[in-house]
Structure 1
Amino acid sequence: MKTKSTHIMCKDHLVSGEEFQIKETSRKGILKTLPVPEPNKIGDYYASESYISHTDSKDNFIDKIYQLIKKISIKRKYRTILKYKKDSKTLLDIGSGTGDFLNVSKDYNISSIGTEPNEHARELSRKKGNTIVEYLDQIQDKKFDVITMWHVLEHVYDPTMYLKKIHNLLHRDGLLLIAVPNYKSYDCKYYKSNWAAYDVPRHLWHFSKSGMKQLVEEQDFKITKLKSLPFDSFYVSLLSEEIKSGKKNIVKAFYIGLLSNLKALSTKEYSSILYIVEKNTK
């Protein structure tokens, strides 16, 4: 995807303090972070104890909130899977982090495997009894009923190539679930460059509904349903407030998160969106 004009400038608030451009691309509705860190350098930008999805930390208030929301969200995720794919028996979770979502699959009689590039997160996942590999290319000669990407697609270097690989791994009648932040949401517009879900340069891509629709359709998928992830607006607003002011401002964050969800009732522009995707079999 060729890049065009600059959409916004953002700083890496987690690790380096470096500034990055977020640029429009030739695919309308998709933005790209530039410069893109080299593959052998990108791991440095995740090297922080504050990067919560690679730890099980409960050291501070935000960590505790994250872990609580994660526990509630996992149940919601499986309810969604079984609502749209009742006979689910096999599951692949791409970017499975510390493996809490994978670990619950056995409660639903689903055989699962995960991919996770971060070594520390993989080790935590294995200790929970999960089957986990480092890269997607290590999974061959398998087909899955369900493939999930919970806030992962924004991290990959080539979303098009990833979706091609996923297409080959998914059963003809399988289900693909993709959750990504939505830069058209109210909380994004409110926080602007301080919006935590820009998360440069770990987030290499930034999606809107129209951009996601075009991207998946080009890979012979179709979006059958869009669902809100209402907790995300509160958590992202909490992080954004700390970036903006250096303080947690819990009340303000709750207000902005709530306002974002309320506005999205009519606009459908939630802070994060879950795309229910199937193969286009026509």
Structure 2
Amino acid sequence: MKLYLKTKDYSFSNEEFDLIWDESKDMLITEPVPDNLASFYQGDNYISHTDSKKSIVDSLYQVIKVKNIKNKIQLIDNQGHKSKKLLDIGAGTGDFLIFANQQGFKVSGVEPNEKARGRAQQKGIKLTEDLDELSDSNFDVITLWHVLEHLPDLNHQIRTISNLLNDSGILIIAVPNFRSWDAKHFGKYWAGFDVPRHLWHFSKSSIRLLFKEHGMKVKTIKPMWFDAFYVSLLSEKYKGNRFYFLSAFFKGLWSNIQAIFTKEYSSLIYVLEKG
């Protein structure tokens, strides 16, 4: 393993972290991991736990989230798993599960953050705090929307998730792609790194290798088109660009254009199955 990049927590603490490249799996590892990692999720700026609309960036995130939720359900339906038992890990404030339930799915969710669980409860969705509490359950669909990169003890978590999935079920994972054009362009300012909350940073190779070790294979890979724009927006802001909206639009657009040829989109969705 060797140093890939030095970066900072530009969202909250401004603390510095190293990204270490694991060549055998083509993935990056955040070091060091703070002992008080949970405290890095407590700020009001951590939007997936707050439903915040305080800023233009927050409002934009909420608009995109609604569109993305509909796309996610359509993706599941396209795999032939409509109206099945669905588990969402890292459910945030529960909006995806609410919509999935309205579409006929029997839903369950896991969310370790107390504030986010409380907001979900207010919306009528009861979330479980810990994945291990569901050890006696099984599901047809398990989803992790930008969550895998947050999970400690990665191999244990993947093993647990695999055990919860029915033999004919599908696992859907969305993660940032550090091999994308925008990741390379922004370097240490790339918002997709989001250290130290993101403990792991994946490529297409690393996802295939990690899950192969647990008897799972990638069925298909889909792009998340909006992520290039949103990540570019935050990255330009971290750089201190006063005109970050305009610049971010063109950077996000160029990243997606490049990815049409390279297939290395800013974020990727992986549909996996056992076998």
For Structure 1 versus Structure 2, the TM-score category normalised by the shorter chain is over 0.9
TM-score by length of 2: 0.98
Kindly state the Cα deviation for residue 56 of structure 1 after the two structures are TM-superposed: 0.8
Q: Is 2:229 the partner of 1:234?
A: yes
Residue pair 2:172, 2:270 contacting (<8 A) in 1 also: yes
Q: Which residue of 1 aligns with 2:142?
A: 147
CA distance in 1, matches of 2:235, 2:23: 29
Aligned to 2:79: 84
Cα distance in 2, alignment partners of residues 178 and 247 from structure 1 = 34
Q: Output the CA distance in 2 between the equivalents of 1:209 and 1:197.
A: 15
The AA in structure 2 aligned to 1:25 is D
- Match among 24, 31, 36 for residue 34 of structure 1: 31
- The two structures have a TM-score, normalised by structure 1, of 0.95
Equivalent position of 2:11 in the other structure: 14
Pairing 1:112-131 to 2, within 5 Å after superposition: 112-131=107-126
What is aligned with 2:88? 93
Aligned AA (2:233)? L
Letter aligned with residue 141 of structure 1: D
- Pick one of 220, 228, 240 that aligns with 1:245: 240
Q: Helix, strand or coil: the match of 1:188? A: helix
Instruction: Write the distance in 2 (CA, Å) between the matches of 1:106 and 1:5.
Output: 45
Aligned length: 275
Select between 243-252 and 209-218 the one with higher mean Cα deviation. Answer: 243-252
Q: Are residues 87 and 102 of structure 1, via their aligned partners in 2, closer, same or farther at CA, if it must alter by over 3 Å? A: closer
Q: Deviations over 1:99-143 (max 9, x none)?
A: 100111122110101111110000001111113110101113211
Unaligned runs of 5+ in 1: none
Corresponding residue for residue 39 of structure 2:
44
* Map of 1:255 onto structure 2: 250
Distance 2:223 2:111 in 1: 25
The one-letter code matched in structure 2 to 1:148 is T
User: Distance in 2 between the 1:133 and 1:238 partners?
Assistant: 33
> SS state of the match for residue 38, structure 2?
helix
**Structure 2 unaligned spans of 5+:** none
1:66-91, Cα deviation, whole Å (9 max, x unpaired): 00000000000000001003344110
For 1:148-163, list aligned pairs within 5 A: 148-163=143-158
Superposed displacement of residue 46, structure 1? 1.1
RMSD between aligned alpha carbons?
1.0
Q: Distance in 2 between matches of 1:247 and 1:173?
A: 50
For the Cα contact (< 8 Å) 1:175–1:278, is it kept in 2? Answer: yes
Alpha-carbon distance in 2 for matches of 1:278, 1:127: 34
CA distance, structure 2, for counterparts of residue 47 and residue 125 of structure 1: 16
Query: CA 1:85–1:205 in structure 2 vs 1: closer, same or farther (change >3 Å)?
Result: same
Structure-1 separation of matches of 2:83 and 2:97: 14
1:197 aligns to what SS in structure 2? coil
Q: After the TM superposition, which parts of structure 1 deviate over 4 Å for at least 4 consecutive aligned residues?
A: none
Matched, 1:25 2:22: yes
Matched, 1:64 2:67: no
Q: Which residue identity is paired with 2:174?
A: A
- Tell me how far 1:15 sits from its aligned partner: 1.8
3-state SS of paired residue (2:192): helix
Task: Find the residue that maps to 1:191 and give its secondary structure.
Answer: helix
CA distance in 2, matches of 1:31, 1:98: 28
Give the deviation of 1:248 after TM superposition.
Answer: 5.2
Match of 1:200 in 2: 195
SS of the residue 2:157 aligns to: helix
Alignment of 1:174 onto 2:164 = no
Please show how residues 257-272 of structure 1 align to structure 2 within 5 Å: 257-272=252-267
Q: Structure 2: how far apart are the matches of 1:48 and 1:20? A: 19
The 8 Å contact of residues 83 and 106 in structure 2, kept in 1 or not, is answered as no
Q: Is the 8 A contact 1:15 1:47 kept in 2?
A: no
**How far apart are residue 47 of structure 1 and its match?**
1.8
